[in-house]
Amino acid sequence: MSCLLEARGISKQFGGVQALQDVSLTINHGEIYGLIGPNGAGKTTFFNVLTGLYARDAGEVSLDGKPLPLGKPHAISIAGFARTFQNIRLFANMTALENVMVGRHARTASGVIGAILRTAAARGEEQAIRRRAEELLHYVGIGDRTHDLARHLSYGDQRRLEIARALATEPRLLALDEPAAGMNASETAALRTLIEGLRADGITILLIEHDVKLVMGLCDRVAVLDYGRKIAEDVPEQVRRNPAVIEAYLGVGVGAA
């Protein structure tokens, strides 16, 4: 399997805190890659470094062999790497449809002149944006909420809307930051179906998640972060048995003490 994302030696420091230390990993085309770890292990920091929100202190990231620029989230999105946020970040006062239409920004081109003169090209593009946004809303299963304001959607639907908006940027790699956080069992099951569908449609997925059952059931490979270091990376069954991982989550066993 060829590698889509490669991160080498990522380090990040916040003042005296070493949030990430020399973290390297590779994500292959078409896989669902899980990233887990106890609270404060540096998962979201790692995510923010990858997507350009934080500048990294050291290390390199490349997508499909091309290096990703530093500190330029929009360029990384255009390169084909989309993300969702742990604490949902929707455009609250825009409708669901408009939220997804914003996601099409990177893949469309019409500017001020086209908008003012309403040129045929600009109108055609606007229609295509709208059509694609409607398709995506149906795809994630909230087609009936198209014209509701984002802030009026239920929590689960807001998560779906965020995924639809990320999909609108036509990503090759979609990074989901704790998509199941705060979801009940049936919502989580529906989310799982959605993620499996995404993979079937050829999108590679990086999943940060606390719900270990979801991660273990869904991911092809899992990496574990603890105190900013990668302590394990393997298929789920192996990771589950890894003593270092058990120690990170549960502390040192009685036998070892």
Residues lying near another protein in the complex (CB under 8 A): 51, 53, 73-74, 77-78, 82-83, 85, 89-95, 97-98, 101-108, 110-112, 114-116, 118, 122, 125-126, 129, 146-149, 165-166, 168-169
Q: What minimum distance in Å lies between the beta carbon of 125 and another protein? A: 7
Residues facing 229 on adjacent strands: 226
Which CB sits closer to another protein, 207 or 248? 207
Of 134, 140, 144, nearest in space to 159 by CA: 140
Which CB sits closer to another protein, 14 or 249? 14
Q: What minimum distance in Å lies between the beta carbon of 56 and another protein? A: 17
Pairing of strands 81-83, 204-208: unpaired
Residues facing 5 on adjacent strands: 27, 63
Tell me the chain's radius of gyration from C-alpha atoms: 19
Q: What minimum distance in Å lies between the beta carbon of 102 and another protein? A: 5
Q: What minimum distance in Å lies between the beta carbon of 115 and another protein? A: 3
Which 8-state DSSP code applies to residue 248?
H
Three-state SS at 235: coil
Which CB sits closer to another protein, 136 or 222? 136
Which CB sits closer to another protein, 117 or 244? 117
Pairing of strands 58-63, 3-14: antiparallel
Q: What minimum distance in Å lies between the beta carbon of 172 and another protein? A: 13
Tell the residue number behind the tokens 């970040």, with chain if given. Answer: 89
